Structure 1
Amino acid sequence: MNIEQARFNMIEQQIRPWDVLDAGVLGLLAAVKREDFVPVAQKALAFVDAEITLPEGQTMLAPRVEARLLQEAKVQRHEKVLEIGAGSGFMAALLAHRAQHVFTVDNRPALVRMATDNLKRAGLSNVTVLEADGHAGLPSEGPFDVIVLSGSVASVPQALLDQLKDGGRLIAIVGALPVMRATLFTRQAAGAFSRVELFDTVAQRLDGFAEPTRFSF
């Protein structure tokens, strides 16, 4: 496989047509080696338009979804970012190239080890990987300028929104099959929040987040 051609095709045929037009984001996707963040057995699939299987039954978001979330988060160099769902560490690597510091958490030890190793090999020193339950966020390190949920949830807990600075953004894939939408929450003054639905997609559930109560009669 010609890796650079495959990377070029991923960007031009999957990502750019999905309204990812930010030159900085496209440049990052060309520079950060996605193939180094997938399991060895999955390397041939690193650039396909699909989720990739990770240890413990988890998955890595499809490239176009990662790219669109990164674009919509609009991370700036001075900002502190929290990612929920470290996975392989790839999204944290992308965020780290744009942020001052990234904290990424996962409650699965195998993924914490994987993300830590991948990020170390990538030479990124401004990422901290922690084993923690994502639904609680990371209040000890907050507040954050940006929070990214790298997976889907039925709803966003208020506890996470409360860890945003004024003007801070949280981006998450919200809903339940068959309807999920990437949604951007922005903290306004006086603790109010705006909410904008960005695009439809689907993603694997993040661990530990509450599901709607189902009534039976």
Structure 2
Amino acid sequence: MSDFVQARRAMVNSQVRINDVTDYRIQDAMLELPRELFVPRSKQAKAYGDAEVEVAEGRFLISPRDLAKLIHVANVRPTDLVLDVACGRGYTTALLARLAETVVGIDSDDDLVRRASERLTEVRADNAVVVKADPTAGVPDQGPFDVIVIAGAVDEVPDALLEQLAEGGRLVTFVRSGPVGRATVFTKGQGGSVGEYVVFDGTPTLVPGFGKEDEFVF
């Protein structure tokens, strides 16, 4: 048994199962998916630790605990069409692909789009694709989506993404409140109304492009 296989088991046992992630599909997906393939080679030893891993300058793969809980509250179904926003090197996209019917990952960085696409092919996530797009704008021509995931912190969720939710759809992310991110589920109701509720706290890094613009001070 390889060290990475043992590390995956330890990750699921110590960071996922004990943190109210009771969906066995998520547990099994995290046990099977080689997380180390989705981080830089120099960071592979940190892939299964209880912390974020930097995958590019200013870009992070959030901790296993935060990611598992976030996906759990999204309630991804086998028939869902899912959008993974600011997907980075594609780990979350690949994980969602094991839970949903189809997954679209988007990122604005050419190198990350290329790397994510290569890794999805490597792990045979044939029902997922990564395309270059502005994460704050989404891909309206591909929706509406049953689930939208922003696996990191935001100051606010752009209206453009909420508009791409299908009726009954869920958008999940961490909305910053000071230094803390509050895992929040946004739901689309009849007539386009959007509700939200907070589920748990975490401390993921802000996703570039999702911060409030600095106000001018006179």
Q: Aligning the two structures, in what range does the TM-score lie when normalised by the shorter sequence?
A: over 0.9
The letter of the residue matching 1:49 is D
Establish whether residue 164 from structure 1 lines up as the match of residue 195 from structure 2.
no
1:44 aligned residue: 45
2:120 aligned residue: 119
- Counterpart-to-counterpart distance in 2, 1:201 and 1:13: 17
The Cα of 1:77 is off from its aligned counterpart by 1.3
1:185 aligned residue: 186
For residues 65-214 of structure 1, what are the structure 2 equivalents within 5 Å?
Answer: 65-211=66-212, 214=215
SS at match of 2:136: helix
Percent of matched pairs sharing the same residue = 39
**Larger mean Cα displacement after TM superposition, 57-66 or 205-214:** 205-214
Alignment gaps of 5+ in structure 1: none
TM-score, normalisation: structure 1: 0.94
The letter of the residue matching 1:188 is G
TM-score, normalisation: structure 2: 0.93
The Cα of 1:159 is off from its aligned counterpart by 1.4
- Counterpart-to-counterpart distance in 1, 2:71 and 2:191: 27
- Counterpart-to-counterpart distance in 1, 2:12 and 2:116: 23
Runs of 4+ aligned residues of structure 1 deviating over 3 Å after TM superposition are 212-217
2:63 aligned residue: 62
The letter of the residue matching 1:190 is G
SS at match of 2:51: coil
The letter of the residue matching 2:161 is L
Q: Deviations over 1:138-177 (max 9, x none)?
A: 1111111110012211111111111111100000111243
CA contact (8 A) 2:52 2:63 kept: yes
Number of residue pairs matched by the alignment: 217
The Cα of 1:122 is off from its aligned counterpart by 0.7
Alignment gaps of 5+ in structure 2: none
